[in-house]
């Protein structure tokens, strides 16, 4: 078979609109950096305002305050303010941001409002600045996504293109906050895009790259937590498996506890507006006894990774951070999950480090924090590359890969849904996170169509057509009508012949110029995928489509029916379900 026969088939769908979307993504990447800069400065401003009563953008930890027992009231005040913002501003600011972004992508045509772009960083800055045990990543994903969506809404784009730009904004914001562009792209692929196509991947890469290059203009450069562990031995293999199982178990425990707490809040006889303030009571009490559990806690992550905290202190911090994070997030306040999970996971690794052989003590806080992240997000590649991007520790890449994989496998086998999808499922939407190449995308029309076509000559009379093709021995519901040069004129079925039809007339009388123009698109081309043909049939409620060589000559070369579209699915079923032994 000549190579020209397959010249229409490509590895990827080519569309010049990809260039337009990528150019828009450049702008969105720059705005992502600006949004991250604004969010981080809001957190610093409110931290100084709440804990030190000063107007300053200096980086200060809530743990250094001298308020004594008064510190308990600060998270309550922050929760009260955010509850009011959510009640009278936008309810969409509640939660940690990623489920809300997923819901907008899958069920909201990727449309987000300007209110969310403004109120999400403001509310998160207030919550975290008043001691909320959250990170900036969830808010920046929601804020960056809202910016991407708002920019996209100013252009004539499809829902899929808006989704791409929404995700580009979310990933660009994450890149700017953490300086981890590759992990941000992987987060988009594993959690937000729900596809792996050039039309979505390239704009996201462009936005993250722009955010990565512009980040040094406004924010600090280099890894957030520079670390270099020693080379590992073969005994680390067993240790990574243990760390992965325990990290997966901890992530499953926290995910389950989170929604139990949310259920308890849901049973309270008061409006949800007051819930964040009640959650703030638990945060304040925990912060009073363990001040370093308050706020983002990037300094705590650094100390845990570098072994600067004693075992007893690390264990205390792990427990308090986990408890107040679960209660605060379950109350419906605004804040992210990544930074708290890093602290909780690193605390687990610090506790396990004396007992795990095969690597130095600094390795296990790193791999455990990645394992907990992988288990909670259900995104092992994102977790592994994110941990590497935060530290630039090349020796840890292999342990990170294995540990996150084990944690991911543990949660896949033991949990029905992740923290990312449980909230959406409770609103009546189920998300299936496995995806692969659609069987209908893998084959083209010319591979499954019927080549031997029963076509009706256009010069045949209506009476003879009804007798020969629509009589007692009718085989097909509809037939193509062709001219003397096999050019397609249209399709006819029994309903095409009205009760007043003159049987002596030829079929050409049925096809006026307006009809031919209207039906011009109701054909399939041999180069199109079966998915396109199936969508066209579904849209126009058709059972058969004529296949023409090209739209100019409209020469009939085949017919594709619904039964033909079953063929790719049958092959897929055999691949997935048919078990056979090939060698014995």
Do 473 and 400 fall into the same domain? no
Do 97 and 187 fall into the same domain? yes
Mean pLDDT on 75-99 = 87
In a domain, 4, yes or no: no
In this prediction, residue 1 carries a pLDDT of 43
Length of the chain as a residue count: 584
The pair of structure tokens assigned to 157 is: 């784009």
Model confidence at 179, in pLDDT bands (50, 70, 90)?
very high
Do 59 and 199 fall into the same domain? yes
Q: In this structure, what DSSP letter does residue 4 have?
A: G
Could you tell me the end-to-end alpha-carbon distance of the chain, in angstroms, rounded to an integer? 35
For residues 134 and 331, what is the distance between their CA atoms, to the nearest angstrom?
A: 13
Q: Starting from the edge strand earliest in sequence, which strands make up the sheet with 488-493, in order?
A: 456-457, 478-482, 488-493
Model confidence at 2, in pLDDT bands (50, 70, 90)?
very low
Mean pLDDT on 259-273 = 91
Cβ-contact 175, 181 below 8 angstroms: yes
In a domain, 375, yes or no: yes
In this prediction, residue 502 carries a pLDDT of 67
For the chain, what is the domain count?
3
Range of the domain at 413: 236-425
In this prediction, residue 182 carries a pLDDT of 96
Q: In this structure, what DSSP letter does residue 362 have?
A: T
Mean pLDDT on 256-261 = 89
Q: What are phi and psi of 327, to 5 degrees?
A: -65, -45
In this prediction, residue 516 carries a pLDDT of 55
Cβ-contact 541, 492 below 8 angstroms: no
Strands 544-548 and 556-561: antiparallel
Do 186 and 284 fall into the same domain? no
CA 111, chain centre distance (Å): 15
In a domain, 584, yes or no: no
In a domain, 452, yes or no: yes
In this prediction, residue 91 carries a pLDDT of 84
CA 300, chain centre distance (Å): 29
Mean pLDDT on 463-471 = 85
In a domain, 182, yes or no: yes
Percent helix, strand and coil across the chain, each to the nearest 5: 65, 5, 30
Do 243 and 194 fall into the same domain? no
Do 404 and 526 fall into the same domain? no
Cβ-contact 385, 357 below 8 angstroms: no
CATH number at residue 372: 1.10.3080.10
Do 157 and 263 fall into the same domain? no
14-18, 165-169, 427-431: which is most confident: 165-169
Do 412 and 486 fall into the same domain? no
| Alpha helices (H) along 130-274 | 137-152, 159-178, 181-187, 198-218, 236-266
Other beta carbons within 10 Å of 193: 23
**Who contacts 240 (Cβ-Cβ below 8 Å, separation ≥6)?**
358, 367, 399, 402, 403, 406
- pLDDT above 70 covers a percentage of the chain that reads 95
Global pTM reads 0.85
pLDDT digit string, tens, across residues 475-533? 888 889 888 888 888 888 887 777 656 667 888 777 766 555 555 568 999 988 899 99
In this prediction, residue 518 carries a pLDDT of 55
Do 313 and 421 fall into the same domain? yes
In a domain, 2, yes or no: no
Average pLDDT, the chain: 88
In a domain, 75, yes or no: yes
In this prediction, residue 5 carries a pLDDT of 55
Domain final position from 425, 455, 477: 425
């Amino acid at each position: 078979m000549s190579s020209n026969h397959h010249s229409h088939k490509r590895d990827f769908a080519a569309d010049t609109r990809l260039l337009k979307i990528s150019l828009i993504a450049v702008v969105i990447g720059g705005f992502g950096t600006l949004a991250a800069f604004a969010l981080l400065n809001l957190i610093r401003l409110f931290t100084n305002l709440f804990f030190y009563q000063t107007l300053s953008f200096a980086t200060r930890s809530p743990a250094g305050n001298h308020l004594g027992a008064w510190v308990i009231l600060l998270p309550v005040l922050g929760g009260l303010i955010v509850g009011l913002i959510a009640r009278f501003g936008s309810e969409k600011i509640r939660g940690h941001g990623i489920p809300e972004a997923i819901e907008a992508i899958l069920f909201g045509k990727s449309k987000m409002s300007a209110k969310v772009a403004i109120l999400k960083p403001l509310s998160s800055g207030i919550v975290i600045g008043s001691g909320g045990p959250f990170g900036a990543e969830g808010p920046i994903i929601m804020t960056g996504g809202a910016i991407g969506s708002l920019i996209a809404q100013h252009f004539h784009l499809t829902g899929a293109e808006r989704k791409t730009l929404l995700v580009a904004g979310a990933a660009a914001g994450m890149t700017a906050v953490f300086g981890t562009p590759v992990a941000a792209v992987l987060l988009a692929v594993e959690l937000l895009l729900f596809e792996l196509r050039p039309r979505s991947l390239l704009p996201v890469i462009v936005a993250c790259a722009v955010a990565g290059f512009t980040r040094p203009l406004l924010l600090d450069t280099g890894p957030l937590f520079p670390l270099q562990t020693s080379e590992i031995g073969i005994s680390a293999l067993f240790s990574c498996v243990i760390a992965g199982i325990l990290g997966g178990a901890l992530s499953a425990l926290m995910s389950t506890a989170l929604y139990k707490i949310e259920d308890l809040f849901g049973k309270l006889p008061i409006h949800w507006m007051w819930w964040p303030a009640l959650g703030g009571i638990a945060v304040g009490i925990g912060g009073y006894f363990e001040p370093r559990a308050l706020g983002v806690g990037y300094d705590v992550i650094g100390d845990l990774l570098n072994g600067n905290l004693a075992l007893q202190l690390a264990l205390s911090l792990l427990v308090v951070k986990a408890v107040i994070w679960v209660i605060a997030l379950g109350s419906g306040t605004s804040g992210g999950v990544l930074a708290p999970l890093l602290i909780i996971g690193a605390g687990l690794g610090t506790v396990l480090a004396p007992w795990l052989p095969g690597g130095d003590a600094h390795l296990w806080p790193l791999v455990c924090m990645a394992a907990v992240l992988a288990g909670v997000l259900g995104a092992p590649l994102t977790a592994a590359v994110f941990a590497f991007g935060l530290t630039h520790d090349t020796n840890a890449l292999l342990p990170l890969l294995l540990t996150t994989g084990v944690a991911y496998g543990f949660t896949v086998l033991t949990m029905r849904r992740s923290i990312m999808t449980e909230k959406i499922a409770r609103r009546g939407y189920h998300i299936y996170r496995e995806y692969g190449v659609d069987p209908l995308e893998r084959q083209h029309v010319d591979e499954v169509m019927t080549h031997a076509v029963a076509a009706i000559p256009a010069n045949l009379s209506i009476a003879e057509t009804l007798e020969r093709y629509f009589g007692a021995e009718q085989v097909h519901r509809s037939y193509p009508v062709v001219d003397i040069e096999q050019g397609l004129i249209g399709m006819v079925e029994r309903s095409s012949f009205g009760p007043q039809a003159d049987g002596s007339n030829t079929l050409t009388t049925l096809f006026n110029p307006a009809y031919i123009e209207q039906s011009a698109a109701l054909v399939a081309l041999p180069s199109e995928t079966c998915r396109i043909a199936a969508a066209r049939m579904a849209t126009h409620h058709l059972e058969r489509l004529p296949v023409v060589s090209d739209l100019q000559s409209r020469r009939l070369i085949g017919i594709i029916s619904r039964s033909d579209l079953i063929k790719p699915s049958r092959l897929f079923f055999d691949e997935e379900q048919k078990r056979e032994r090939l060698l014995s």
